Amino acid sequence: MDTASLRQRIDRIVHTHSSVFAASISKYGFSCARCGWCCRENFKIRITKDISRPSNAISVFPGDIRRIMKGTGLHWDEIAEPDIYSCLDDGKNIRAIGWILRRSDKDECIFYGSEGCNIYEWRPLICRCYPFLMDEQDVEIIHCEEAKSRIEARSAKQIALLVKRYELQKLRNYIGIISQLGEKLRLADLHPLPDGYDGELIVCDGERSIPVKVSIRVGKYGRIQ
Ligand code: SF4
Ligand code: SF4
C-alpha cells in the first residue's frame, strides 16, 4: 500500500461515472429487509492469509463517529473502540489502525435494537453501502440475506453514489494513516490483539494518534471492556 498507487486509484474512481456501478448493482439486485443480519456477528471476513475479522467489526471513519456524536449526544468512546483486529506491534508500541463500532455482549453492533438500527439517520457510511463494496474494478456484493431481490433504478443509483463516496473516503483515510505511520504500515504485518490483552495502544485513524486503554476479556475474544 503506497500513497502513489492510492492516489491513482482515487483518480480512477473519481473519473468513473457512478452509472457504471449502478448498472452492476442492478444486475445483482437488492432490497434491504432491515433484518439486522449484517449488524450481528455472523461470519468471518478474510483480510489476508493470516487475518480474518468478525463481520460485526464495522470500520468507521472519524467523520462517521462525529456525525453519530452530533446526532445522539453520545461520547466518542461510547460509539467506537479501537480496531483490535488490525494492529501493528513494533516491539515498543502497539498501534491500532482506526476504529470499529462498539459491540454488545450479544455480539451485535451496540446500536442494534429490537426495532433495528437505533441510529439509522446517522449510521456510518459503510452501513449505508452494505452489502455493496468496491473490489479492484467494480462493485461487488458481500453477504446479505436479501441479495437478488429486484432493485429500483433510483435506489441502485443512490447506492452507487454511496459506494463511490465510501471508497474515496477509505482511500483518503489510508493516505492519512500512511502519513502517520510511513513505512511501518504493511498489510501483511497487521495482526489482531491476543485474547486477554490488557494494556495501552495507540489508535492511528488518519487524523490523530490517540492512546487508548484496552482490556479484552479472556475467552471472549474481541470484546473491549
Ligand atoms: S443489508 Fe441485507 S443482511 Fe443487512 S439488514 Fe439489509 S437485508 Fe438484512
Ligand atoms: S450502525 Fe446500525 S446499520 Fe450499522 S451495524 Fe450498527 S445497527 Fe447495523
Instruction: Please give, one letter per residue, the 3-state secondary structure of 84-143.
Output: CCCEEECCCCEEEECEEECECCCCEECCEECCEECCHHHCCHHHHHCCEEECCCCEEECC
% of residues, the chain, pLDDT over 90: 54
Q: Is the pLDDT of residue 224 over 70?
A: no
Any atom of ligand 2 within 6 Å of the Cβ of 119: yes
Give me the pLDDT at residue 184, please: 66
pLDDT digits (tens, 9 = 90+) for 133-150: 998 888 988 888 766 778
Whether 94 shows a pLDDT value over 90: the answer reads: yes
pLDDT above 50: residue 18: yes
Is residue 125 within 6 Å of ligand 2 at its C-beta?
no
The pTM assigned to this predicted structure is 0.90
Percent of the chain with pLDDT over 70: 91
The rounded Å distance from CA 127 to ligand 1 centre is 10
Q: Give yes or no for residue 13 having a pLDDT over 90.
A: yes
Q: Which residue type is seen at 126?
A: I
* Ligand 1 nearest-atom number relative to CA 130: 1
pLDDT at 222 over 70: no
**Atom 8, ligand 2: which residue's CA is nearest?**
39
For residue 147, give the 3-state DSSP assignment.
strand
User: Does the beta carbon of 58 sit less than 6 angstroms from any atom of ligand 2?
Assistant: yes
pLDDT of residue 187: 74
